Structure 1
Amino acid sequence: MLRKHASTLLTATAFLLASCGGGGGGDNAAGTPAPGGGSSGGTTPPAAPQSLYAVPAPEALTAAEVAQIVAQAAGEAQARGLPSIISVVDRVGNVLAVYNMNGAAPTLRIPTPPGGGPSFDAQGLTGIPAAAGAIAKAVTAAYLSSSGNAFNSRTASYIVQENFPRAPGKTTGLESGPLFGVQFSSLPCSDLNRRMADGTIGPKRSPLGLSADPGSMPLYKNGVVVGGIGIMGDGVYGADDDATKNDVDDNEEFISLAGATGFEAPEEIKANRISIDGTTLGFVDFGVTRANLKSNPAAPPSLGGLGGYVAIPGYYVGGGPIAGTPYATAASGYRLATAAERTAGSAIDSPDALLVVDAAGNNRYPIRGGTDNAEVAQPLTAAEVRAIAEEAFKVLGRARGAIRQPLDSRMQATISIVDTRGQVLALQRSPDAPVFGTDVSLQKARSAAFLSSPKAAADLLASGSADVAGFVQKTRDFLGRQDALTGNIAFSERPIGLLARPYFPDGQVNTANGPLSRPIASFSPFSTGLQSALIIGNLAQQLGEVAGGAAVPRRCTTLPAFDASGGNRLENGLQIFPGGEPIYRGTTLIGAIGVSGDGIDQDDMVSFLGVFNGGVRVGGVGHAARDMRISAIPFRQANNAFLPYVQCPVAPFLDTSEQNVCEGK
């Protein structure tokens, strides 16, 4: 998930072709490794895989505990004179409570970008129920956290904006946050994230995606994350523009802090104990301490007369608190793969593989071959998919995590593989990977496959949105390639992200925006560019559901359908930070892989080496040829430097001192 480069200049360090495979294609002219060798090559049978991870204990909030959390938060809101909407969710996003205090603002407002841009009002983002913001904040705290890290919506505010770290004046001259774009994940329209009608099965959707508006806390029991609390009181759903001063969200943060009393994250894993290139992340604002609470959470008020539990269509039935569901049990939507599934080939051969399952406990995404035989002469086979997924999981198990405490903890993440239509061919997780990475890994895989596809330009032009269609010519002009987005250029997630920044090179002052971004004057975390343009209309429809309208389809974009099923290639939206690579058979795109959970360089490495090692293992598949990669295009805007294709960590493994692990591949 998180990793940030120390350099603020897009020089040889940031745009290097070599070092970590930035433009290298190995010695194979087609970019596909020759059979034999690699991590599973040779004639010696591989040893049986050993378990490397512990499954979190099956902790969950009881209904009485949810009521206690709500009462503690309401007491602080009352003491501060800020009637609020209080939401509590479990780790997989089931909404356990939405409590509306008397006098709480019924709707929220999203700040407009300073320089305008496509109007939120014109796109239907007005009159948004404030409960949507409270739920989104609670989901964010739960989804970004694990047993090794405790994050919340203030942490998200640090890492999703156009500069990192946050400081006065939006700190021009610094690169974008490492999770730039993650706010547009776990969207309410996602085909992966579930709905209230699906029962307790997760992961659930969020009405506003992930939130960068402070006012939430993760909730823990015995060191295990069991959910999150989110507060909406001031009526403004924004982000913290300046990490050096107190801001108007402090009251909401105090209320969430009081609500989390007795369910606090362990001190040693809070975001303010985790740094990215020497910058400590945010967890609470200055002065937000328990000593400065205005209430006594040990003696919360009676909720009688303060407000009531309110039903939120599509999210919460109302009537009172609900017990949470223990994570990593079949009822939660996640469980370990069985030995039979691993032997039969519907899951990778690892005792640590956690699957996403349906209400009957069945694997939602068993390993299979590509579904795109109408468009691809030789689609990915199930054996090839399994090889790539298993090799990626092996790299994951050896890698040092970037955000987990204690230091030198093993990396945890989700791995997704798709075909050229974005159809899921495999989805596997390590046991304690943050939940947000489930949806994000799939977004990354689909994004790399889509922008590398021969269909990309045609689909964008046929989306029905002039805003979306306009990004095609912007990209072609920027790259100096009028054939861009027609399958002739391989796009991995790292360069996709750099092209989606409001400064190009990333963080530079007085430069034009990347072609997939809004200009900086029109940019905001809610209006990033192509990413937001693709889903904004559907998001408005989904928010109408929260206000009591009809349920809408599980599909986030209006791209044309690839067949009579109505499916399209970006059903859960576009993602724009590193950790995804297209997969090729020779010069033909056949799919993509996405990884998310524990450091963007780590995500990049697992996806990149997974494809390479999987190709070595089975032969015939691998990375794009060197001259097809976007890293082969010199950029006039950066003194003819080159975009990186992948950036891997220095000395990333726990079991060896190996370095430059992606070089030449």
Structure 2
Amino acid sequence: MTEQSLRFKSKPLIRLVQQLALTGAVSCVALGIVSCGGGKSADSSGIGAGDVSCAGNCQADKLNSLSIADVETVIAQAVNEAKARNAKATIAVVDRVGNVLGVYRMTDADKQLKISTTADTETAIDGGLEQLILPDGADALAAIAKAVTGAYLATEGNGFSTRTAGQIIQDHFNPGERNQPGGPLFGVQFSQLACSDFSQRDLGTGVTGPGPHRSPLGLSADPGGFPLYKDGVAVGGVGVISDGRYSLDKNLLDVDSDQDELIALAASFGYQPPLNRRADRITVDGKTLRFADVDNIDLESAPDGSNTYAALTAADGDLISVTGYITTAAIRAGTVFGQADSGIRADAGLYAGQDAFVFVDGANTNRYPPIAGTAVAEPGTAVLSANEVQTVMTEALAVANSARAQIRQPLSTQARVTVSVVDTQGNVLAMAQTRDAPVFGIEVSLQKARTAAFFSSPDAADFLGDAGLAKTQYFNSDLTADRQINIGDYLTDLRTFTANSNALADGTAFSDRAGGNLSRPFYPDGIESNPNGPLSKPSGEWSPFSTGLQLDLVMNGIVQHLFHVLAGTPEVGQTCVGLDISDLNSVVETASSNRLANGIQIFPGSVPIYRGDVLVGGIGVSGDGVDQDDMIAFLGLHNASQALNGSINNAPSAIRADNLKPKGEHLRFIQCPQAPFLNSDSQNVCQGK
């Protein structure tokens, strides 16, 4: 018997030991097995390309990208694994900024898609995107969303998968552990939306364009999406759908054998993240992240290069075009991340000494250089000046470059994040990131900045309650119209919950952490006997596809785009909020404003900006641990205030949301990490500021 056959024979025993260890029935050490727990150690799994030393600077020297031959190899490996399993899959490959490089559909693959977090034997959650059955063509959208997620969560310092995403967005962290707080990136799934005013769209010319690009379903938590690497450098992602179901793993206390994940793993063979950069080498709140529930030993095919793309026949399947994402049924090469063609390149001197990167258009022009604001909360108060904006950006980037990263390896590396500044109407005043920051954090930082500025505004209540926002349209599973949701009801619930009839009109300063406290299905977070926060659906109605205000604000924009791709109705514009879709052939914008154009975000990393006690804008940070994001936003603004002799400042402590005590529990404004800096032993760095 060969060594390979011995390894395959041992799989049932390995699975049994893993499940026993996860449930606490027996320890791995007691059985003499080094790594059998959740997110199995790379040493035993075989997934990966060996340890590497890349920590953010390799791409500048290697200039790696996905070639046409690389994309062909990834697709061929997926198809051959699917064939070995008698499965029919749809496979998508993207580059690191979300250009779709190829979509391949196997013959007789299921083209429809059911969105559901509940099994057929469970009581279905009714609302939001739950239970929708999308028509032919939706398979490609799911595969693209998974591929984008794998690419956008990856850096030289960490390789995350869609399974990792599913672990960190649910109502408990870890999923399946009762009475635990929600995931650290609770709500991130509703970012990178197709209706966003930030995310780029396919050029429609058959060639790649500058990113970051949008995702048809936001970020995916459905296993079957992995990052792709070359020589330790993140270059893209692959996504697979073969079961016709878009869902997530609600229980991390066991080990699954997911067909989509197995096929995607085979696809990534030879392009897998380094062992010492995988999610299961990274801890958050003392818990190890999960990369995959399967490994290379579980593959039925032999992804060794012997089964090539050229060997595939028409009987296997074919490349397809996807409206809005890839206009030709062909394979194309990816862009080089960090170069102008990718839409992200090195700063040319705006942020001196910060090793910053900026976002550029097809002409290599910075899309968001520091500019002055156009709006403030009170007439007569000066708007943010371009110099003030540039100072805030520079100081925040400097804090990031000094901060110890939470979600990267090695542990001695600095935080890698994106910083955004907006005025009180959500107009973008500046955006930039540190080297090798994850792509997902770019748009999320803008969502966070806008969310802080909006909820701190004294006219936020008017916008939600009286501005004539279109009602959110829900749909039956067959896509016929169901009930409508009045956005103003969330304002009513918030005022009742906080016993404050003037909530969102009294000038209270809200951070994303404070707003997130009110957006969880349990308040305080995680305790299942507690009521839901007023901006969340209650337990039993909540799911990652039906969150509450966050989704209901952008639901119509998501649906308009899906109908465009799948049914040919007009495409959504570059705004997600205030869309009346009662007639999808003639959609009306009922709130033409940048304030929340790409939606809100409900996990930490933002603070409002004040001039004295008058709101003038917001700063958002995303890309590392949420406490690090909080600190970079808060201290960046604090340090800018000092550099500018106090012309702008953090919210005065007397008006911060942590003064509020709904249901007897204080909201939180910010939370900064312990010993946060690489070259300092300073503690409590945000206290008293």
Normalised TM-score (structure 2):
0.84
Indicate which of 294, 300, 318 corresponds to 2:307: 300
Superposed CA offset, 1:499-535 (max 9, x none): 1110110011211001111001101101111000011
Map Cα deviations across residues 338-363 of structure 1 (whole Å, 9 max, x no partner): 1xxx3xxxx32235110000000000
1:234 matched to which residue of 2? 243
2-structure distance, mates of 1:122, 1:233: 18
2:289 match: 281
Q: Distance in 2 between matches of 1:371 and 1:334?
A: 26
C-alpha separation in 1, matches of 2:431 and 2:59: 20
Aligned partner of 1:612 in structure 2 is 638
- Residue 601 of structure 1 aligns with which residue? 627
The question of 1:401 aligning with 2:409 is answered no
What letter corresponds to residue 460 of structure 2 in structure 1? A
Equivalent of residue 325 in structure 2, options 311, 315, 318 = 315
Mapped to 1, the partners of 2:631 and 2:376 lie a distance apart of 29
What secondary structure, in the 3-state scheme, does the structure 2 residue paired with 1:390 have? helix
For residue 352 of structure 2, the aligned residue among 324, 332, 349 is: 349
Q: Which of 61, 64, 67 does residue 59 from structure 1 map onto?
A: 64
Residue type at the aligned position of 1:110 = I
- Distance in 2, matches of 1:319 and 1:484, equals 52
Structure 2 residue 345 is matched with structure 1 residue 335:
yes
| Residue number among 448, 453, 462 corresponding to 1:449 in the alignment | 453
Contact 2:469–2:590 (CA<8 Å) still a contact in 1? no
Amino acid at match of 2:660: I
Q: Deviations over 1:540-589 (max 9, x none)?
A: 111122225232201111179xx999333101111000000001112211
Q: 2:571 aligns with which of 539, 545, 551?
A: 551
* Residue aligning to 1:244: 253
Aligned with 2:115: secondary structure?
coil
**What's the secondary structure of 1:425's corresponding residue?**
strand
Q: Counterpart amino acid of 1:440? A: V
Distance 1:376 1:115 in 2: 50
* Distance in 2 (alpha carbons) for counterparts of 1:81 and 1:559: 43
- Alpha-carbon deviation of 1:220? 0.3
Match in the other structure for 1:81? 86
Structure 1 equivalent of residue 268 of structure 2: 260
Letter in 1 for 2:397: F
Q: C-alpha separation between the residues in 1 aligned to 2:328 and 2:182?
A: 40
Deviation by residue 1:22-54 (Cα, 9 ceiling, x = unmatched): xxxxxxxxxxxxxxxxxxxxxxxxxxxxxx973
* Residues 376 and 331 of structure 1, relative CA distance in 2, 3 Å threshold: farther
**Gap change, CA 1:552 and 1:319, over 3 Å in 2:** same
Closer, same or farther in 2 for the Cα pair 1:570/1:487, shift >3 Å? farther
CA distance in 2, matches of 1:77, 1:124: 24
Residue 518 in 1 paired to residue 533 in 2? no
Check 1:374–1:500 CA distance in 2 against 1; reply closer, same or farther (3 A cut): closer
Aligned AA (1:627): A
Q: Say which SS state the counterpart of residue 557 (structure 1) adopts.
A: coil
Q: Could you tell me how far apart the structure 1 residues matched to 2:373 and 2:507 are?
A: 21
Amino acid at match of 1:87: A
Aligned to 1:164: 173
Could you say what secondary structure the match of 2:683 adopts?
coil
Determine helix, strand or coil for the equivalent of 1:388. Answer: helix
Structure-2 change in CA distance of 1:372 and 1:483 (3 Å): same
Give the aligned CA root-mean-square deviation in angstroms.
2.1
Match of 2:16 in 1: none
* Partners of 1:94 and 1:202 within 8 A in 2: yes
Change (3 A) 1:75 1:115: closer
Task: State the SS of the aligned residue for 2:59.
Answer: coil
The yes-or-no answer on 1:190 pairing with 2:199 is: no
Runs of at least 5 residues in structure 1 that lack an aligned partner in the other structure: 1-51
8 Å Cα contact 2:321-2:330 kept in structure 1: no
**C-alpha distance in structure 1 between counterparts of 2:508 and 2:430, whole Å:** 25
Other-structure match for 1:432: 436
On the 8 A contact 1:95/1:315 being kept in 2, the answer is: yes
Q: For the structure 1 residues 220 and 53, does the alpha-carbon distance in structure 2 shift closer, same or farther, using more than 3 Å as the test?
A: closer
Question: Is 2:661 the partner of 1:654?
Answer: no
For the residue of structure 1 that corresponds to 2:487, the secondary structure is helix
C-alpha distance in structure 2 between counterparts of 1:514 and 1:325, whole Å: 43
CA distance 1:389–1:120, shift in 2 (3 Å): closer
If the length of structure 1 is used for normalisation, what is the TM-score?
Answer: 0.87
8 Å Cα contact 2:101/2:331 also seen in 1: yes
Q: Deviation at 1:121?
A: 7.6
SS in 1 for 2:338: coil
CA distance in 1, matches of 2:459, 2:105: 47
- Note if contact 2:113-2:134 (Cα within 8 Å) is conserved in structure 1: no
Cα 1:641/1:566, change in 2 over 3 Å: closer
Question: Residues of 2 paired with 1:293 and 1:373: CA distance?
Answer: 58
> Do the aligned partners of 2:117 and 2:247 also contact (CA within 8 Å) in 1?
no
Listed as ranges, the matches of 1:448-597 within 5 Å are 448-461=452-465, 462-465=468-471, 466-547=485-566, 549=568, 550-558=570-578, 566-597=592-623
**Equivalent residue for 2:224, pick from 208, 215, 218:** 215
One of 419, 422, 439 as aligned partner of 2:423: 419
Q: AA paired with 1:96?
A: L
Equivalent residues in 2 for 1:64-213 (5 A)?
64-111=69-116, 114=123, 116-118=125-127, 120=129, 129-167=138-176, 171-197=177-203, 199-213=208-222
Q: Residue 41 of structure 2 aligns with which residue?
A: none
**Corresponding residue of 2:655:** 628
1:356-375 equivalent positions in 2, closer than 5 A: 356-372=359-375
CA contact (8 A) 1:193 1:204 kept: yes
Contact kept, 8 Å, 1:368 with 1:425, in 2: the verdict is: yes
Contact 1:559 1:568 in 2 (8 A): no
Within 2, Cα distance between the matches of 1:121 and 1:283?
A: 25
TM-superposed CA distance for 1:384, in Å, is 1.1
For 1:491 and 1:351, locate their aligned partners in 2 and report how far apart those are by CA, in whole Å.
Answer: 28
**Partner-residue secondary structure (3-state), 1:538:** helix
> Cα–Cα, structure 1 residues 62 and 128, in superposed 2: closer, same or farther, change >3 Å?
closer
What does residue range 31-70 of structure 1 map to in structure 2 within 5 Å? 54=57, 56-57=59-60, 58-70=63-75
Letter in 2 for 1:463: L
Counterpart CA distance in 2 for 1:192 and 1:498 is 26
Q: Which has the higher contact order (CA 8 A, sep 6+)?
A: 1
**Cα distance in 1 for residues equivalent to 2:676 and 2:131:** 47
Letter in 1 for 2:212: P
Partner SS for 2:246: coil
